[in-house]
């Protein structure tokens, strides 16, 4: 066997890490890094980050290693917070087209005696599988957390979602990040009698129902179960509601609806958001957008444009990025780079895939930036972290050095070798 090629396939950084420190060391001082804190655009040249017990303890240029704590020389490379993978069903899907492996969408239309049409109590994180291969495939590219939630299509209120850390644990949700998912607009018209006015009508009916006492519901058609009413009522006390919606007129409707019903909307998609950017900024509504979306998939998206992120940022709107794909969430970094090419400031683009999404979902103190007290989820890059020719070379989650291996790197290493003596199925990297 040609060991040379296999050895080449391993990144040199992973090797040096393995040699420099015991595997899975919890405590480490990273030195000589260009630290992108993702907070207020702060960059620390020749920076040091001390990790102890899974948390970031100190960040600066003159941090020293406490006794017994190993150091890791970053050799001047860029260190960022672990990246956001977007709003995507990570851990809820193995193969998208294989129903037996997908868990994010609730559709009870085929089930008997399931009259309630809205199920806010649906919480797909309970189906999360940390062994799902997209988790590691994207983690080795620096994706350490994401908004894992319900996919639309089955109901206007699709269910809930939570921020999850992709550290391989069975309990990935970051507590306090509960978010309700709604999908409105052209794609949901079949759920509202074929009019988008029907969407607001049904949602208002649901909100009334959630707030009603039991007696007043007697004789009324009910959209939800008792448990569902309870869940929705909780979100109507200032909770976060992620609304997938794109048309400018719909965005304004959602802002009005949110004010009247006491929830905090977050716009997902929002192709037309730039047209009503001032209203969105005034209402302090964040927008999670796809920086690569510039074509009208349908008439809701006529406003889609590549400089959207810059326009919203300039208008004072809080922005984060998502592509919505669990298998290729690693591509979000490329999307952020494209936002820079189209006018966004570099540090704002990095924030849009690190600290800002964490803040949007109420977890800015836990993940998303390199600040004292944060969970130590960090990525070291071969070059400019937003550049497509850069790759992740080392990764820590909760302070633990993570193996830079996935099913894909193993397939690569199996087939990289030329003319093996035995069938490749004997090569087990």
Partner 1 sequence: MHIQVATSATPSLRSTLGWRALSLAGAIALGLCAPSWAAEAPFPSTYQALASETTLIRGATVLTGTGERLNNADVLMSDGKIQAVGQQLQTPAGAKVIDGEGRWVTPGIIDVHSHLGVYPSPGVKAHQDGNEITGPVTANVWAEHALWPQDTGFAAALAGGITSMMILPGSANLVGGRGVTVKNVPATSYQAMKFPDAPHGLKMACGENPKRVYGEKGRFPSTRMGNVAGYRQAWIDAQEYADKIKAYEDKLAEGEDAKAPKRDLRLETLAGALNGEILVHMHCYRADEMMTILDMADEFGYQVTAFHHGVEAYKIADELAEAGTCGALWADWWGFKMEAYDGIQENIALVDRPANGCAIVHSDSAEGIQRLNQEAAKAMVRGQRAGMDIDEARAIRWITSNAAKSLGIYDQTGSLEAGKMADVVLWNQNPFSVYAQAQQVFIDGALIYDRNDPDYQPLSDFMLGQSAEENR
Instruction: Summarize as ranges the residues that interact with partner 1 (CB under 8 A).
Output: 5, 8-9, 11, 94-98, 133-134, 137, 272, 275, 292-299, 301-303, 305, 327-328, 330-331, 334, 337-338, 340-341, 386-391, 408-409, 411-412, 415-416, 424
- State in angstroms the smallest separation of the CB of 286 from partner 1: 22
What ranges make up the beta strands (E) of 205-270? 240-245, 264-269
Chain centroid to CA 196: 28
Cα gap 332→336, rounded to integer Å: 6
**Does residue 17 contact residue 394 with C-beta atoms inside 8 Å?**
yes
Residue nearer to partner 1 on the CB measure, 11 or 32: 11
**Does residue 222 contact residue 116 with C-beta atoms inside 8 Å?**
yes
What ranges make up the beta strands (E) of 95-215? 143-149, 157-165, 179-183
- State in angstroms the smallest separation of the CB of 283 from partner 1: 20
Residue nearer to partner 1 on the CB measure, 16 or 334: 334
CB within 8 Å of 425: residues ≥ 6 apart: none
Q: Which two tokens stand for residue 174?
A: 């970051």
Residue nearer to partner 1 on the CB measure, 71 or 390: 390
Residue nearer to partner 1 on the CB measure, 260 or 411: 411
Residue nearer to partner 1 on the CB measure, 56 or 90: 90
**Does residue 50 contact residue 63 with C-beta atoms inside 8 Å?**
yes
Residue nearer to partner 1 on the CB measure, 324 or 398: 324
Residue nearer to partner 1 on the CB measure, 66 or 297: 297
- State in angstroms the smallest separation of the CB of 26 from partner 1: 28
- State in angstroms the smallest separation of the CB of 41 from partner 1: 18
- State in angstroms the smallest separation of the CB of 214 from partner 1: 43
**Does residue 255 contact residue 265 with C-beta atoms inside 8 Å?**
yes
Cα gap 368→256, rounded to integer Å: 30
**Does residue 108 contact residue 114 with C-beta atoms inside 8 Å?**
yes
- State in angstroms the smallest separation of the CB of 309 from partner 1: 14
State the greatest distance between any 2 C-alpha atoms of the chain, in Å, as a whole number: 77
Measured CA to CA in angstroms, residue 104 lies from 110, 126, 135, 261 at distances of: 16, 10, 15, 26
- State in angstroms the smallest separation of the CB of 134 from partner 1: 6
């Amino acid at each position: 066997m040609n060991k040379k090629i296999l050895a080449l396939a391993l990144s040199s950084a992973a090797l040096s890490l393995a040699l420099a420190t015991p595997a899975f060391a919890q405590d480490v001082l990273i030195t000589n890094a260009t630290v992108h804190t993702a907070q207020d655009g702060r960059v620390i040249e020749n920076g040091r980050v001390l990790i102890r017990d899974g948390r970031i303890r100190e960040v600066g240029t003159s941090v020293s290693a406490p006794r017994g704590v190993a150091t890791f020389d970053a050799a001047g490379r860029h260190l960022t917070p672990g990246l956001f993978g977007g709003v995507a069903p990570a851990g809820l899907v193995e193969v998208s087209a294989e129903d037996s492996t997908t868990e994010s969408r609730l559709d009870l239309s085929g089930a008997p005696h399931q009259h309630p049409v809205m199920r806010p109590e649906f919480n797909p994180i309970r189906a999360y599988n940390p062994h799902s291969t997209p988790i590691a495939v994207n983690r080795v590219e620096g994706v350490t957390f994401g908004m894992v939630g319900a996919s639309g299509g089955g109901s206007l209120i699709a269910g809930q979602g939570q921020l999850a850390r992709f550290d391989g644990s069975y309990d990935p949700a970051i507590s306090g990040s509960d978010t309700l998912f709604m999908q409105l607009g052209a794609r949901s018209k079949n759920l509202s009698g074929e009019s988008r006015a029907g969407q607001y009508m049904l949602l208002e009916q649901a909100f009334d129902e959630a707030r009603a006492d039991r007696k007043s519901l007697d004789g009324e058609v009910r959209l939800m179960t008792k448990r569902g009413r309870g869940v929705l009522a909780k979100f109507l006390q200032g909770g976060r509601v992620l609304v997938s919606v794109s048309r400018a007129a719909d965005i304004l409707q959602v802002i009005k609806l949110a004010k009247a019903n006491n929830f905090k909307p977050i716009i997902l998609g929002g192709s037309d958001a730039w047209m009503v950017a001032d209203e969105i900024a005034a209402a302090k509504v964040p927008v999670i957008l796809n920086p690569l979306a510039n074509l009208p998939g349908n008439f809701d998206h006529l406003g889609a444009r590549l400089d959207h992120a810059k326009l919203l940022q300039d208008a004072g709107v809080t922005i984060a990025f998502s592509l919505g794909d669990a298998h290729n969430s690693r591509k979000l970094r490329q999307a952020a780079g494209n936002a820079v090419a189209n006018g966004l400031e570099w540090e704002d683009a990095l924030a849009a895939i690190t600290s800002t999404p964490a803040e949007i979902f109420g977890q800015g103190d836990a993940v998303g930036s390199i600040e004292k007290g944060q969970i130590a989820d960090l990525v070291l890059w071969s070059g400019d972290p937003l550049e497509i020719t850069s790759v992740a070379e080392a990764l820590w989650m909760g302070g633990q050095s993570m193996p830079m291996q996935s099913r894909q790197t193993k397939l690569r290493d199996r087939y990289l070798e030329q003319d093996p003596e035995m069938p490749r199925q004997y090569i087990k990297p």
